[in-house]
Structure 1
Amino acid sequence: MNITVVRPGDLGETERSRWRELQKADPSLDNPFLSVEFALAMDRLRGYVRTAVVEDAGEIVGFFPYERHHFGIGKPLGGFLTTCHGLIGVREVKVEAKALLRACGLNVFAFDHMVAGQPTFAPYESDVRPAAVMDFTAGYEAWLAQVKENSAKNLKTWRYKERKLAREHGELRLSWASTDHGELRQLLAWKSDQYRRTGRVDRFAQPWIVELTEQMHAERSPGFAGVLTMLYAGDVPVAGHFGLRTATTLVGWFPAYDSEFGKYSPGIVHHLRMAEAAAGAGLHTVDMGKGGKDYKHWLKSGTLHVSEGRVSRPSAAAAAHWIGRVPFNKARTIVTDSPSLYRAADRVLKGFGRMRSTRGQESDVKEPSGAL
């Protein structure tokens, strides 16, 4: 095999078309974070983005997008922002992982949302975790029946709050795939407020993340697009979500709501309406990602699997990386995998958020990856 490393923006149209062809051919790669469009957007904003092009007998058999940081530390494309990464290639292609790292100039590559079972990285998986999905392949009504089976009590409560919200604030409507930039700004403002209230780092305090979100919102191709949804009560927006989709899969990214309407559970009401709209738009799946949030367990009707692991070559940088990251990552996984532990940790972070708001100070506290 021959491996060439380039910036995604340097790929020609032939290579980009091959990327899309490989992704479409394998259902396990049906995730917008694995799309060439996402790699191109990241490359426009961050100078450390690279793609390894893998060829066998003169034919491209795979693309490996990644970030190369100082000391040869490799990270998945998009890092903590994304919930899926991997090698986009022929289904059974296997690249010798350490040879891949050497060609990429990496000493270590750690992953926590890898497509599970990829031949190149499977030997280095330390854990495989389920990611909750809403599956509409049997239709919206079949999905809703599964939600009722998961928790009829919760569904009844949500429907009651949905009716109460409409009765007290006006008829509910969902804006699907909105192109309104003002709605996007509103959603990001809610999300920033949520990060601060719950003790997380405000991701949108980083201008490049705001710019990435805006660029993704502008994407409008059949195989890749940003999808903004907004739930209104009367003329007032109360909850929304921005995510990315392929032709058939929408991935959850930034859900948020107006905290003034918190007693109505507007986030859940929005998700119920969004699910109906997604199914009506022909999407097969909404990927909610792994993690311990209760609503994912209530709304799911299927699972995908992602893996955690680490590949390294002998070096001082790899050893330092292990000492600094691996124990923390293991502890984080234990917490985010357990709804009860996640709730306990969430309470602590919310308490910290209240303290921080009172003092008017920002913090460097790190949050669990995928806690969007």
Structure 2
Amino acid sequence: MSRVRQVDVLIVGAGPAGLAAAARLAAARVPRVEVLDREQQAGGVPRHCAHGGFGTWPHLLTGPAHARLLVTAAESAGAVVRPGVTALDWAGPLSLHTVGPRGPETVEARAVVLATGARERPRSARLVPGTRPAGVLTTGELQQAVHLYGQCIGERAVVVGAEDVSYAAAATVRAAGAEVVAMLTDLPRARTRPARAADARLRQGIPLLTGTTVAELLGHGRLSGVRVRHGDGRDAVLSCDTVVFTGDFVPDHELARRGGLTLDTGTRGPAVDGSLHTSRPGVFAAGGVLHPGESAATAVREGAHVAGAVLEALAGAAASDGVPLSVTPPLRWIVPNRVTPADHGLPYLLRTTAHLTRPLLQVTQDGRTLHRRRLARAVPYRTLGLTARWTRLVDPGGGPVRVTLGDR
């Protein structure tokens, strides 16, 4: 029989969002703030991202240094960080069954924050045919092998994807002493900054194959190559001993799903309002589980924001149901995805599927325009920001609020 313990706030996930929330809550003198993480070391994805760019300008850090800073801040404020502990399932509305070095436990809380992050879909989930050789990795597996364990990954690698995380994977391959044979994407262009794509192609000599997909993995025992298919139907074989599948992030929403929390159809993470309340009273969510693939800086900002909402809940503030917030194509999703007139702090994040020049971003409810702004451009898979100042105009008893992006 598992032991039962009580805490004030239980945070699931010791990545940037969870640690930032824990630091603020503990600094606000919440007595018992506890952070669980199934990994053996706290810090989340930045732990194995050796490149720089983390933190804030001008004090940018490498990923591991940023992770250590977040862990130190949470523990110094008084939070308890417990790596190596897995939250298995819900034991009640605000309690979870866990297992870790102490054995099985049930942890009861006054508030729960889900900061479980996101993961890249592996080869199996992408339905790539072929054999099952060694040498098939995701970015996370690659970075852990190289930066955490110093393992050899092979000599010639193909990187599948052409977004920011793909270029980080290519840099890791090169840091391990291997050659990047090619990067490939099914899109007509890279999803990163033009300067970064040009640097990889021209200075580092990495070919970018656009409109190209992986048709088959080849080899027995160890990968020997990948068969790729170009947009015009032509096939070719790239000789390599490693392939890295990058991007295509999905939220780690298993706990949210098992708890019956409402999931947003766009992000597939928990639906939340501007205070990051989920559909279950006392349960909040922040970070990558809400919007897979966003930066650590965004996760830290949301962690600090959700801590403020938790403090209000612990003081007795009641959460509003809010009004549904939806997007229309070419927008893919928006976070938060419910809105109340009190949601005036956290900016909304959006993603689009189309390249648009000078598009008009509009927010409407029941035919009323709540906000409109002309953007310089919109780029697929790059985040757009939307101020929350218009939320005070929302009619709580009205229909859904809709966000559109178009020429007019």
* Range class of TM-score, shorter chain: under 0.3
More helix by share: 1
Rg comparison, structure with higher value: 2
TM superposition score normalised by structure 1: 0.27
More strand by share: 2
